Amino acid sequence: MEAFFNLSLPTDWQSLSDSQLLYFFTQFSHDLPMEEILTLCLFKWADLRVLCKTHDGSYLVKHRQASKQEATLTIRQMQAATASLDFLRQFAPLPVRITKIGRAKAVEADFQGVPFSTFISADNYYQGFLHTKNEDLLSHLATLLYPKVKSRHLTTTLLLNAFYWFSSLKHYFARLFPHFLQPMPADEQNLLGYAPPIGEMLRTAMNAQIRALTGGDITKEEAVLSMDTWRALTELDAKAKEVEDIKRQTK
């Protein structure tokens, strides 16, 4: 295939442009099988067009920018080509997002320089959505990630973008701050047993984070909430590690 078209495809999430991210999330919003999404992305990003299906089940395709360049692709060749896009099956290892919705610019993808209060609020909406599947919570999340975004721009496609972005951010932070950001205990995730209402759980977690940083001094709360997210998480991770060390020493 490459002998005909010398295809140039993105190799990871970080190499995707805004238009490519938008196209992927648009297809994803249609609830298509992932194999079909990868095939659509392949033809879109490689700028290929299917001319017809041949008698043996192959496809005659051409490059849109080279009208005389045609080739026959078998199903196996197409599967081999889409394999290079398999990274789309997983969340991005580093946070990525569409940089602008309308005229509303996104905050930093990795939340460097973003106030801790924004991260806390965003995480509350994110966790709330995971528990309730209420899309209104994704809209609230998106308005934090894209300050000044207009509600009419918050389509399902762009809400998916916001969800993927914050999911990849949480996975990234879990690797950077492993002592503080740990999975919820299994008993709290058990939907068949008792668990506190999600709103109560999130408020309790948020208040615990703030108390850990203020040392219980309410006069420091405003300074803590305006603190850079990375600095706040670094401090919380260090405190969590101290607690772990003390527990090990007292066993």
- Calculate the average pLDDT of the chain: 82
Give the per-residue pLDDT at 248.
80
pLDDT, tens only, 125-134: 998 998 889 9
Please check whether residues 140 and 231 belong to one and the same domain.
yes
pLDDT, tens only, 196-208: 455 555 566 666 7
Host domain of residue 74:
2-89
Query: Which of helix, strand or coil describes residue 215?
Result: coil
Q: Could you tell me if residue 244 is inside a domain?
A: yes
- Contact between 241 and 179 (Cβ < 8 Å): yes
Please check whether residues 238 and 175 belong to one and the same domain.
yes
Please check whether residues 159 and 35 belong to one and the same domain.
no
Q: What is the pTM of this model?
A: 0.82
**Chosen domain end from 32, 54, 89:** 89
**Chosen domain end from 89, 115, 138:** 89
Q: Could you tell me if residue 10 is inside a domain?
A: yes
Please check whether residues 114 and 190 belong to one and the same domain.
yes
Give the per-residue pLDDT at 75.
72
Give the per-residue pLDDT at 194.
36
Q: What is the Cα–Cα distance from 126 to 131, expressed in whole angstroms?
A: 9
Q: Could you tell me if residue 95 is inside a domain?
A: no
Domain count, the chain: 2
Please count the other Cβ atoms lying within 10 Å of the Cβ belonging to residue 52.
Answer: 8
Give the per-residue pLDDT at 63.
67
Q: Could you tell me if residue 94 is inside a domain?
A: no
Give the per-residue pLDDT at 187.
40
Please check whether residues 123 and 240 belong to one and the same domain.
yes
Please check whether residues 115 and 220 belong to one and the same domain.
yes
Please check whether residues 75 and 113 belong to one and the same domain.
no
192-220 burial by CB neighbour count: b if 16+ within 10 A, else e? eeeeeeeeebbeeeeeebbebbbeeeeee
Please check whether residues 123 and 171 belong to one and the same domain.
yes
Please check whether residues 73 and 191 belong to one and the same domain.
no
Please check whether residues 110 and 230 belong to one and the same domain.
yes
Closest CA to 1 of 87, 95, 96, 73: 73
Give the per-residue pLDDT at 10.
93
pLDDT along the chain (251 residues), means of 10: 61 96 96 92 83 70 65 73 92 96 96 95 91 93 97 95 96 90 48 45 64 69 83 87 80 69
Q: Could you tell me if residue 66 is inside a domain?
A: yes
Please check whether residues 105 and 153 belong to one and the same domain.
yes
**Chosen domain end from 89, 114, 148:** 89
Give the per-residue pLDDT at 77.
75
CA atoms within 13 Å, Cβ hemisphere of 147? 5
Please check whether residues 134 and 238 belong to one and the same domain.
yes
